[in-house]
Amino acid sequence: MPGVHIGEYPAFFFLSRSCTREMLFRFLIFCIIKHMDNFLDQLNEKQREAVLLKDGPLLIFAGAGTGKTRVITYRIAYLLSQGVSPLNILAVTFTNKAAEEMRRRIDVLVPGMGRSVWISTFHSFCAKFLRTEARHVGLDPNFLIYDENDQKQVIKSCIKELNLDEKKFKPARLIEIISRAKDDMLDADSYSIHALTSGDYFRQVVATIYGLYQSKLKQSGALDFGDLLLLTVINLRENKALKEKYQYRFRYIMVDEYQDTNHAQYLLIKYIGAESKNICVVGDDDQSIYSWRGADIRNILEFEKDYPDCRTIKLEQNYRSTSNILSSAWHVIKNNERRVEKKLWTNKEEGNPIKFIENRNAIEESEAVAGEIERLRNKNKYNFCDFSVFYRTNAQSRVLEDSFRRSGIPYIIIGSVRFYERAEIKNVLAYLRLIHNPHDNVSFRRVINIPKRGIGKTTMQALESIASEKGVSLWGALPYIGFAEIASSARKSLFNFKELIKELQKNKENESVKEIALKVLDKTNYVAELEAEDTLEAKNRIENIFELISAIEEFESRSSDRTLTGYLTQVALVNEIDDWTESNDKVVLMTLHLAKGLEFKTVFITGLEEGLFPIGESSYDIDDLEEERRLMYVGMTRAKESLYLSWAQERTVFGKTHWNIPSRFVQETQSMDSIFEVRTAKADAGEEVIEIERKEGVKEYIDEQHQMFALGSRVFHQKFGKGKIIDKSGSGENLKVIVLFDTGQWKKLVVKYANLDII
DNA sequence: CGGTAGTCAGTTTTT
DNA sequence: CTGACTACCG
């Protein structure tokens, strides 16, 4: 180190205590320049081209595993080496995990620089923007962010207030409509205009709900996810000074996973980058899997139209997967008609063949996965974290979890039952939110009677009506309770609650989040009350609460914004995938959606059954089916060395057992040399798992499953007449179908004996 | 007001 | 099968 000199100063000078941020910055830049040649050597020709195209709009088509993150991080390093200040660089990713990963990798290239470059998700960028500019955009800088659960509560109260039928206007559906409207830049007023012109009654009611919903959010001082984007974009559009400020600040913009951006996100980038035009977007239309969330694939396909002078670079060399994996993935994705043709290639060897496992049910499938992980670990000295298991729906994780627990395999489930969604955690958080902003009605309703303080339905109804009469929040209604018909005991309780929150709010500016949280536990007696319950469940809840306290500690040790606002924002926008690091040697379980952007030595894709993956009715709609197929492609291309595809003949959903046929994606891989069946045999010592490898007639078998007696096909039976196949199980001689006959009755029939004719 | 039993709908996928 | 919600009684 002392040998390194910057100009006339020895490097250690810069590392001494007197070093300023600026000096450190210059030192780091020096290091980058020194190593830039080395950096560039680590890139292939196309990647280097993408890194070196410093100015102007740039579109990078980056196939799976082609070093997309590498290009972005090296590009940032290159920009820094060219004298661009880290403060002028904005990198936007889709998930927090991706942002974290990028930061980490920049830090590897340019130590300490990861923190200075603004890298965030769209949503956290907007949250930061709106808080910083709150004064200019007419917001309280302490606004809360409502998650989907909070949204649901608000929507429900809207429906109640408007005397609508929850069955006709389902909260979940309404949230979806409103969220999609916001993605498309339609605020409540614009939506209302559209609804009126359409003459559609349903849409007009939705417009009313939308409007009421927004006023309720405002009353509570809250924004939902969609608002973060919508308001940011509206303000950038309307406020010239603001727009110029951000255009000036962010001279270089990079957007990851551009294929998944929605219209609002597209506009955000367009506005900020309009001046410098230094917009670099990276994406892959084959990995677009969020259209259901408003993502518009046209954003990537029409980038060249938006920026006529843009340069386009295609990254096609895959560094991740063996050629076996890559070619099967290609065989699957090429079935999509709506895609830009790309030819990924690799100079890696063929590698292991893809292994197909057929199981009788979900339990055996899980056992097979667990068994295979143990076998591979013994054989190849793999770590647990080299394995990942993907599935289409979160519900599938439970069975896997059971098997892993039985086998003693350490695992981590990412995303399913979220820690922050547990009742006891939400209760503590609701207190924190009230301390931060007592007008938060959702939190107020949540904890007004937790722990029990004798405030029930009647009291709440009275309070609600005061609030709506006066046009204030529930908290704001408290001073008026003297005039309402509220039992004196309840009145006293409300008063005490108010004093409690006020007490907790005292000194909040000077206390750490942890101190505030501990004060909540202390003053509310929440833990003590749980202890008194003395049940296993209560014990569990107490444990979770302490886990929350350590999560807060963790937050405070790591985050740059350690305020209560910062913490609550983080809780709303960050999921636990960000806390997972490879340092924990655990098998990772997650949905296919969450897997995007990650890679593992060995990947299991489970539940490959028609109706589950592709899910539900999606196979009847070409667009839906193609998105499912892209999801399959994303899953397959996560694997570096080994890929397992498994399915179960029957699966229990909602306590009902369904018979399924293998997913069409299985046969689309075109690489089925053999199928493994896992059978559990009863031996003297108990149960024994037997693996059977079926090599012959594999293709015929799958074809038969799909074509001979496909679900939905019409059949004729001598005795029962005409009908439709609605379910299916077994194979070969044991192939059984359930037929719903036109008479209305249904029968389970063994195909071999039933003598059915396909009509 | 609070507890409990009974009903009913719901699982895609996420910031 | 679960969790969320409702209705009724102590």
Q: Give per-residue pLDDT as tens, A156-179.
A: 999 988 888 888 889 999 999 999
pLDDT at residue A526, rounded to an integer? 86
Helix (H) or strand (E) holding A507: none
Round and report the angstrom distance from CA (A204) to C1' (B1).
39
Round and report the angstrom distance from CA (A426) to C1' (C9).
30
pLDDT at residue A281, rounded to an integer? 95
* Three-state DSSP class for residue A412: strand
Q: How confident is the model at residue A535 (pLDDT cuts 50, 70, 90)?
A: confident
Q: How confident is the model at residue A126 (pLDDT cuts 50, 70, 90)?
A: very high
Q: Tokens representing A422? A: 């547990």
pLDDT digits (tens, 9 = 90+) for A597-619: 889 999 999 999 988 998 887 87
Q: How confident is the model at residue A581 (pLDDT cuts 50, 70, 90)?
A: low
Strand C nucleotides in reach of protein CB atoms, 7 A cut-off? 1, 5
The number of beta carbons lying within 10 Å of the beta carbon of residue A744 is 7
- In A197-278, where do the E strands start and end? 222-224, 252-255
Active site residue A256: yes
Strand C contact at CB of residue A156, distance < 7 A: yes
Q: How confident is the model at residue A15 (pLDDT cuts 50, 70, 90)?
A: very low
Strand B nucleotides in reach of protein CB atoms, 7 A cut-off? 1-3, 9-15
Helix A188-198 × helix A201-219 angle, to 10°: 170
Active site residue A287: yes
Q: Which residue is nearest to nucleotide B12 (CA to C1')?
A: A393
Q: How many percent of chain A have pLDDT more than 90?
A: 50
Q: How confident is the model at residue A5 (pLDDT cuts 50, 70, 90)?
A: very low
Per-residue pLDDT averaged across A265-281, rounded? 95
Active site residue A752: no
pLDDT digits (tens, 9 = 90+) for A419-460: 777 888 889 999 999 999 999 999 999 999 888 888 888 888
Adjacency order of strands within the sheet including A252-255: A118-121, A89-93, A252-255, A279-283, A58-62, A311-315
- What is d(CA A646, CA A514) in angstroms, rounded to the nearest whole number? 45
Does the pLDDT value for residue A11 go beyond 60? no
Tell me the sheet residues that pair with A343: none
Does the pLDDT value for residue A349 go beyond 60? yes
Strand C contact at CB of residue A163, distance < 7 A: no
Q: How confident is the model at residue A740 (pLDDT cuts 50, 70, 90)?
A: confident
Task: Tell me the HSE value of A566 on the side-chain side, using a 13 A CA sphere.
Answer: 14
Tell me the backbone φ, ψ of residue A757, rounded to 5 degrees. Answer: -110, 135
Round and report the angstrom distance from CA (A735) to C1' (C1).
28
pLDDT at residue A516, rounded to an integer? 95
The number of beta carbons lying within 10 Å of the beta carbon of residue A512 is 15
Q: Token pair 């001046």 is at which residue? A: A275
Give buried/exposed letters for A636-666 (b at 16+ CB in 10 A, else e): bbbbbbbbbbbbbbbbeeeeeebbbbbbbbb
Round and report the angstrom distance from CA (A425) to C1' (C2).
20
List the catalytic residue out of A46, A47, A66, A68: A68
- What is d(CA A668, CA A271) in angstroms, rounded to the nearest whole number? 42
Does the pLDDT value for residue A500 go beyond 90? yes
Strand C contact at CB of residue A655, distance < 7 A: yes
> Torsion-angle region of residue A655: left (phi > 0), alpha (psi -120 to 50) or beta?
left
Active site residue A69: yes
Round and report the angstrom distance from CA (A302) to C1' (C5).
47
Backbone Cα Rg of chain A: 29
Strand B contact at CB of residue A121, distance < 7 A: yes
* CB under 8 A, 24+ apart: contacts of A38-41: A39/A74, A39/A77, A39/A78, A39/A109
- In A239-299, where do the E strands start and end? 252-255, 279-283
Does the pLDDT value for residue A627 go beyond 90? yes
CB < 7 A to strand B: residues 382-411, chain A: 392-395
Per-residue pLDDT averaged across A693-716, rounded? 74
Active site residue A168: no
Q: How many percent of chain A have pLDDT more than 70?
A: 89
Q: Which residue is nearest to nucleotide B10 (CA to C1')?
A: A654
List the catalytic residue out of A183, A224, A227, A256: A256
pLDDT at residue A680, rounded to an integer? 65
pLDDT at residue A19, rounded to an integer? 55
Q: Tokens representing A690? A: 């037997």
Q: Token pair 């294929």 is at which residue? A: A259
The number of beta carbons lying within 10 Å of the beta carbon of residue A441 is 24
Active site residue A602: no
Q: How confident is the model at residue A336 (pLDDT cuts 50, 70, 90)?
A: very high
Helix (H) or strand (E) holding A681: strand A675-683
> Is A420 within 8 Å of A426 (Cβ atoms)?
yes
pLDDT at residue A7, rounded to an integer? 37
Tell me the sheet residues that pair with A281: A59, A255
Round and report the angstrom distance from CA (A450) to C1' (B1).
14
- What is d(CA A215, CA A162) in angstroms, rounded to the nearest whole number? 14
Strand C contact at CB of residue A679, distance < 7 A: no
Q: Cα angle vertex A706, ends A703, A708, to 5°?
A: 80
> Is A119 within 8 Å of A102 (Cβ atoms)?
yes
pLDDT at residue A576, rounded to an integer? 57
Round and report the angstrom distance from CA (A654) to C1' (B10).
9
Alpha-carbon separation of residue A348 from A33, A75, A331, A339, A645 (angstroms): 32, 26, 18, 25, 21
Q: Which residue is nearest to nucleotide B1 (CA to C1')?
A: A456
> Is A473 within 8 Å of A441 (Cβ atoms)?
yes
Round and report the angstrom distance from CA (A137) to C1' (B13).
33
Q: What residues have CB less than 8 Å from A418, skipping those under 6 apart? A: A575, A576
Max avg pLDDT among A2-11, A204-213, A461-470: A204-213
